[in-house]
Structure 1
Amino acid sequence: MADIQLIATDLDGTFLSDDKSFDKALFHVVLETLKNKNIQLAIATGVHQERINVLLADFLNEGMAYVTNNGARVTNANGQLIYERTLAMPILLRIQQLLTAFPVKPSRGLVYSTDDTAYIPREYAHIMLQSHRRYFKQVIIVDDVSEIKAPILKVTMNWQNFDETQFYDAARQTLGDTVHVTETGTGAIDIVPADVNKAIGLKMVADNMGIGMANVAAFGDGANDLEMLTAVGRPFIMPGASITGPFSKVTADNNNAGVLKTILTII
């Protein structure tokens, strides 16, 4: 079995406990152990960098690589941007059109996001709670997506008590293979550029390090982790994950530092 040189972990439902906390003392131990063994850690998540910066505020100088926005943006251990894919304006206009025509509005909101800015259509401004202000450097209200001049990495929409598969189907019919529709890991739906996923983002990190995907371990729990888990040499899923496959099970769940404990046993 190939030596592990890179370990990637999803955040929500995997590394983070349900209340978005984690065992900081144990994380320090794991990071020290990884450094001593010259193993790189990557965060591979559906969320944007600014949210990570809030959640992992005490650990931003630890030289981690980041695969964010479900693979649309990747930075290496030195903080260099090594990959980025954005949604072109004609596609954003088609997404806006689809959401306007779709009979069930995203009752928990709609966000067009860059890495630190949330663009929110005016009709959703009242439901975009303070949490968005916590996780974005700025929130800008727009009347139409054509007003957005910044490069958009993803569009996120969130319903309450609604079967999102209906929207998946509508999005796939309307937008086809011009985009990739996936879950966020936080109970919402993301639309990201075509051919973007965590596996492609993680391969950019591995290529940048000069290692093969056989030398990578990854941890995940949801459908947006599936490509990544299938692509690596040592895939692990959380107990109670919503996906199945030939993956090893993490011994403890996300509320009991399962990822960190498993990392210490495999290295």
Structure 2
Amino acid sequence: MANIQLIATDLDGTFLSDDKSFDKALFRVVLAALKNKNIQLAIATGVHQERINVLLADFLDEKMAYVTNNGARVMNSDGRLIYERTIAMPILQNVQQLLADFPVKPSRGLVYSTDDTAYVPRAYADMIRNSRRRYFKKIILFDDLAEINEPIFKVTMNWQDFDETQFYDAAQRVLGDSVHITETGTGAIDIVPAGVNKATGLKALADNIGISMDGIAAFGDGENDLEMLRAVGQPFVMPGASIVGPFAPVMANNNHAGVLKTILSII
């Protein structure tokens, strides 16, 4: 197995504790250790860049790479955008029609995401809680998709007390291969461009810095991490995760800095 040259970690349920915090002092220790061994760190997440900028505000000068929106957008550690895939308007219209036809509306909201802006159908305006607002620079309400003139990386629909796999199955039937549909593990479904997942985003990053996927260790906990974990040389899964495979266990759960402790143990 190749030596580790890059470490990628999911955020929610993995790097972040349940309250979205993390051990900043230990993170500084880990960053120093990685720098000393010339190992890069990548955040590989379903969320958009602006949310990461809020969560990791104290560490944005640490030259990390970012695989965001479940692989639809990739920035290398120099801050250069190296990969980007968006959803074409005709496909967004198909998604909108599917949601209109689906009997159970996303009770926790519906967002069409750029990298810093949430486009929200006006009918869902009252679902935008203040806790969510801080993760977007702008929230723009719209009546018609034609009003959106920015590239959309991801559509997220979120339910409370509903088995979202029912929507997943309906979306698979209606949208087929025109998109990639993934469960986030938090009651939400993400729809991203076809052929896009965290593994494709990570591969674009690996190619950019000239390393093989075998030289990557990755940490995850949910369905949207599966492709990434299967693609890297050293995959690690959180305790109690819903996914199974030939993955090594993380030393502790997300509320006890499991990712950071495991990184220190493997480098």
Equivalents in 1 of 2:257, 2:166: separation in Å? 34
Q: CA deviation at 1:131?
A: 2.1
Contact 2:164 2:187 in 1 (8 A): no
Query: 1:233 maps to which residue?
Result: 233
* Alpha carbons 1:47, 1:184 under 8 Å: kept: no
Q: Work out the CA distance in 2 between the residues paired with 1:69 and 1:185.
A: 15
What amino acid is the match of 1:53?
N
1:165 corresponds to: 165
Match of residue 76 from structure 1: 76
- 1:60 matched to 2:60: yes
SS for the counterpart of 1:205 is helix
Aligned to 1:17: 17
CA shift for structure 1 position 169? 1.1
Q: Which residue of 1 aligns with 2:48?
A: 48
1:95 maps to: 95
**What SS is found at the alignment partner of 2:63?**
coil
Counting only pairs closer than 5 Å after superposition, residues 151-190 of structure 1 correspond to structure 2 as 151-190=151-190
Q: Does 1:113 align with 2:113?
A: yes
Distance 2:159 2:144 in 1: 21
Shift, 1:187, TM fit: 3.0
Q: Distance in 2 between matches of 1:131 and 1:84?
A: 27
Distance (whole Å) between structure 2 residues aligned to residue 66 and residue 263 of structure 1: 18
Structure-2 separation of matches of 1:145 and 1:161? 28
SS in 2 for 1:211: coil
Are positions 1:129 and 2:140 aligned together?
A: no
Q: CA deviation at 1:192?
A: 0.2
C-alpha separation in 2, matches of 1:130 and 1:203: 35
Instruction: State the shift of 1:183 in Å.
Output: 1.7
TM-score in terms of structure 1 length? 0.99
When the two structures are aligned, how many residues end up with a matched partner?
267
Partner of 2:4: 4
SS of residue paired to 2:43: strand
Higher alpha-carbon deviation: 180-189 or 48-57: 180-189
Q: Distance in 2 between matches of 1:61 and 1:195?
A: 31
Counterpart CA distance in 1 for 2:74 and 2:30 is 22
Structure 2 residue aligned with 1:148: 148
Contact 2:160–2:187 at 8 Å: present in 1 too?
A: no
Contact 1:46–1:185 (Cα < 8 Å) also in 2: no
Task: Tell me by how many angstroms 1:185 deviates.
Answer: 4.6
- Other structure's SS at 2:20 match: coil
TM-score of the pair, normalised by structure 2:
0.99
SS at match of 1:13: helix
**In the alignment, residue 208 of structure 2 is paired with which amino acid?**
N
User: 2:222 matched to which residue of 1?
Assistant: 222
Partner amino acid for 1:151? Answer: P
Q: Distance in 2 between matches of 1:172 and 1:147?
A: 27
Tell me which stretches of 4 or more aligned residues in structure 1 moved more than 6 Å. Answer: none
- State how far apart, in whole Å, the 2-side matches of 1:146 and 1:222 are: 33
Letter of the 1:87 partner, please give it: I
Q: What amino acid is aligned across from residue 59 of structure 1 in structure 2? A: F
Q: 1:72-121, CA deviations, whole angstroms, 9 ceiling, x for partnerless residues?
A: 00000001000000000000111001101110000000000000000000
Please state whether the residue corresponding to 1:12 is helix, strand or coil: helix
1:185 and 1:24 map into 2 onto residues whose CA distance is: 25
Structure 2 gaps, min length 5 = none
Partner SS for 1:140: strand
User: Would the aligned equivalents of 1:12 and 1:185 in 2 still touch at CA under 8 Å?
Assistant: no
Q: CA deviation at 1:145?
A: 1.2
Amino acid at match of 1:131: S
Structure 2 letter corresponding to 1:236: F
Q: How far does residue 184 in structure 1 lie from its aligned partner after superposition?
A: 2.7
Query: Distance between the aligned counterparts of 1:114 and 1:184, measured in 2?
Result: 18
